[in-house]
Amino acid sequence: MTKETEFWQKVMELAKTAMTETTYDFYIIGSQCLSIEGNQVHIYLDHPSKKMFWDRNLRDIILTAGFEVLDKELTPLYSFELENQIAEPTLSPTAYQVRKKVYPSAPTNLISKYRFDNFIIGEGNRFTTMAALTVPDDPGKGYNPLFIWGGPGLGKTHLVHAIGNAVLEQHPTARVLYLTAENFLNQFVSSIVSNSMDKLKENFRNLDVLIIDDVQFLAKEKYDSTLEEFFNTFEALYNNDKHIILTSDRMPKELNDFPERLVTRFSWGLITDITPPDFETRIAILREKIQEYPQLEFPQTAIEYLANQFSSNVRDLEGALKNISLLAKGKEVSTVSIEIVAEAIRSRTPDSPKMTVIPIERIQEKVGKFYGVTVKEMKATKRTQNIALARQIAMYLTRDLTDNSLPKIGKEFGGRDHSTVLHAINKIKDMLATDDNLRLEIEEIKQKIR
Ligand code: ADP
Ligand code: MG
């Protein structure tokens, strides 16, 4: 049995128990596991509209099955066409079809909704956006590497996906790959484990455009060999006129753990930053984003009120919109009043940026103190109710505030299994949905951790 088959059987088994038969028949039957490469599982769905359901409901199942069968944290990638349908001979195959044939399932990881045409240009991002727009004209030339840095939620990820999507529109045969620094790291680590480093390197070298998001995480633990490989990949691509696009939460010279020669190379192209949007830009962004809520009417006063509340993070602004729509739905109103905006802002838990810099020990300590549990107890096996709950909350917060993997979190909590961690996180999430007190407590603890 291939690892794909085994993995897929597990997914099906878990899915069956997690939903009604009708739901299972509609959403799950007809899907296929195309391949597992590194930490990515490529899944075929017979209709694009099913992706949202999978995103919401199959994530944990895929994680669990990935761990149980392959012992790794798999990220799903969905496609909606089967290989043999694409490869059907036509009279004059376009370059695009040829590419699909040659590289059957080369995933780009690009998110299609992040485009230039829905990225609002304002003072804080004007120069960077202009630089980004030049890449698709002549990939490999111009600003190469393009290094974009700036605070969380300011559109770095959106912008680099937009570049990738535009490159493919203008050069359908180009090979573009988007990776978070974490994906990049995982791919290297797993290729070392499976002894397939050469194949991975070749994959990278065949690219035309490589995008690595949040490079600051490459140095998060002592992955010296990964940085070394990153350097080699960088050199190989650069010397072959391939485009490299990087984002970071800080400027290159503040990437302390990076070798000097790497930092130097970052400045061979263009280093450019994004700063928070001004009021006018925030209004424009809101006007763009409210299109996702056609059922709601937003008076100008409400938009301005909202734009005034968030000045330095567009993601927070979007989160507030989501809350507003939920609240409006609950109240069965279609016009968003200032009162609703205010209430939505009050009730929301800010989804703050993940910060790997927060040590797990600090989270354990703060949660422990709040509930009268010691760090030692948190790591021990004892299961009295209040210790268990504190432990679960600490695990939840660790996942929420840092980007430690499930196994790593398990390890830091007395060598527990990843599935125990996943269970804890889901349990707290469920509780948070109904328990206002808990939500307040967790907010309070979060303040203490930061
Ligand atoms: P970053 O990677 O810098 O943390 P993201 O690219 O993830 O930020 O942006 C967070 C959210 O804000 C995304 O949903 C993105 O679409 C939106 N966003 C940020 N800046 C803009 C902008 N100028 N126009 C439209 N949407 C934006
Ligand atoms: Mg980002």
Q: Name the closest-CA residue to atom 16, ligand 1.
A: 158
Ligand nearest to the CA of 213: 2
Neighbours of 372 (CB within 10 A): 10
Q: How far is the CA of 379 from the centre of ligand 1 (A)?
A: 38
pLDDT one-digit tens code per residue, 322-341: 999 999 999 999 999 988 99
Distance (Å, whole) CA 306 – CA 295: 18
Q: What is the mean pLDDT of the chain?
A: 86
Who contacts 99 (Cβ-Cβ below 8 Å, separation ≥6)? 172, 173, 175
What local confidence, expressed as pLDDT, does residue 422 receive? Answer: 87
Mutate which of 182, 275, 315, 351 for ligand 1 pocket (most atoms within 8 A of beta carbon): 315
Query: What ligand is nearest to the CA atom of residue 159?
Result: 1
Ligand 1 neighbours (beta carbon < 6 A):
119-120, 125, 152-158, 285, 288, 314-315, 318
Closest atom of ligand 1 relative to the 150 alpha carbon = 3
Lowest mean pLDDT of 155-169, 268-282, 423-437, name the range: 423-437
Q: Give the whole-angstrom CA distance, residue 35 versus residue 74.
A: 12
Which pair of structure tokens corresponds to residue 179? 């990776």
For residues 47-51, average pLDDT: 74
Residue-wise pLDDT tens digits, 189-211: 788 788 888 888 888 889 999 99
Q: Where are the beta strands (DSSP E) in 151-224?
A: 176-180, 209-213
345 band by pLDDT with thresholds 50, 70 and 90: confident
CB of 38 within 8 A of CB of 186?
yes
Q: What is the mean pLDDT of residues 400-429?
A: 87
Instruction: Write out pLDDT tens, residues 61-72.
Output: 999 999 999 999
Strand ordering across the sheet containing 176-180 = 176-180, 209-213, 243-248, 146-150, 270-274
For the CA of 158, the closest atom of ligand 1 is 6
Cis peptide bond N-terminal to 93, omega within 30: no
Read off the pLDDT of each residue in 30-52 and give the average, rounded to a whole number.
87
Q: Is the per-residue pLDDT at 284 higher than 60? A: yes
What's residue 219's pLDDT?
76
Question: Tell me: the pLDDT tens digits for 75-94?
Answer: 999 988 776 544 333 333 34
Query: Which of 193, 232, 248 shows the shortest CA–CA distance to 70?
Result: 193
pLDDT (mean) for 164-174: 93
In eight-state DSSP terms, residue 42 is E
pLDDT in tens, 92-128: 334 433 444 444 447 899 999 999 989 999 989 999 9
- Is pLDDT larger for residue 178 or for residue 95? 178
3-state secondary structure of 312: coil
Q: Where are the beta strands (DSSP E) in 32-145?
A: 32-37, 40-44, 75-79
Asked whether the predicted pLDDT for residue 387 surpasses 80, the reply is yes
pLDDT, position 220? 60
> With left for phi above 0 and alpha for psi between -120 and 50, is residue 209 left, alpha or beta?
beta
Over residues 250-271, the pLDDT tens digits come to 999 999 888 888 899 998 999 9
pLDDT band for 156, please (50, 70, 90 cuts). Answer: very high
Find the range with the poorest average confidence among 130-134, 177-181, 186-190, 364-368.
186-190
pLDDT in tens, 306-320: 998 887 899 999 999
Predicted pLDDT of residue 334: 94
List strand residue ranges (DSSP E) for 181-241, in order: 209-213
Strand 75-79 to 243-248 pairing: unpaired
pLDDT at 243: 97
Predicted TM-score (pTM) above 0.75: no
Q: What is the mean pLDDT of residues 2-7?
A: 92
Give the up-direction half-sphere exposure of residue 145: CA atoms within 13 A in the CB hemisphere. 28
Is residue 447 over pLDDT 90? no
Q: Which atom of ligand 1 is nearest to the CA of 125?
A: 23
Tokens 């700036």 — which residue? 150
As a whole number, mean pLDDT of residues 428-433 equals 87
Please name every residue paired with 178 in a beta bridge, in sequence order, or none if there are none. Answer: 211
Flag whether pLDDT at 378 surpasses 70.
Answer: yes
Ligand nearest to the CA of 321: 1
Q: Provide the 10 A C-beta neighbour count for residue 213.
A: 22
Residue 33 reports pLDDT greater than 90: yes
Its sign, for the CA torsion 398, 259, 178, 169, is positive
Q: Note the pLDDT of residue 100.
A: 41
Tell which atom from ligand 1 comes closest to the C-alpha of 161: 6
Distance from Cα 112 to the centre of ligand 2, integer Å = 15
Kindly indicate the confidence band of residue 223, based on its pLDDT and cuts at 50, 70 and 90.
Answer: low
